[in-house]
Amino acid sequence: MTPAPRDRWPEIKGRNFPFAVYWSKDFMVQLYAEPNDIVRLSVCRTCLGNDGHWIDGISWEELQDIKDGVGYGSNDAIEVYPRIGDVVNVANMRHLWVLPSELDFIWRRSSTT
């Protein structure tokens, strides 16, 4: 992932603006500061389909590599599936919320000697 110069950032609508944008051959990642020292990674592919929308289908492995590639490899992150009344689905984007501290409920590799 490579930091994108400010003049290459996409047009942002709304109140919340990213503090950084990263690009690769396949992905664009916008980083947003959220409450409680959480960083949101909004991820989309760089290719558009015939319908003019970003191509869908981002794997878990790709999201993990993206999180690592923008500097958050040492942090836990979550992807949220909201209750039905709060679903907003206007683009083929995935969102990861990078947390400032470790989660207690996820599996960890145990070290054995």
Q: Is residue 113 part of a domain?
A: no
CA of residue 102 relative to chain centroid, distance: 18
Q: Are 28 and 43 in contact (CB under 8 A)?
A: yes
In a domain, 15, yes or no: yes
pLDDT tens digits, 9-27: 887 776 788 999 999 999 9
Q: Contact, 96 vs 67, CB < 8 A?
A: yes
Tell me if 8 is assigned to some domain: yes
Find out whether 33 and 66 touch, Cβ atoms under 8 Å.
no
- For the stretch 27-84, pLDDT in tens is 999 999 999 999 999 999 988 777 877 778 899 999 999 999 999 999 999 999 999 9
pTM (two decimals)? 0.85
Structural domain total, the chain = 1
Query: What is the residue type of 49?
Result: G
Instruction: Note whether residue 111 is domain-resident.
Output: no
Q: Which residues form the domain of 32?
A: 2-98
Whether residue 82 lies inside any domain: the answer is: yes
The DSSP secondary-structure symbol of 27 reads E
* Distance from chain centroid for Cα 111: 29
Q: What is the pLDDT of residue 46?
A: 86
Would you call 48 helix, strand, or coil by DSSP?
strand
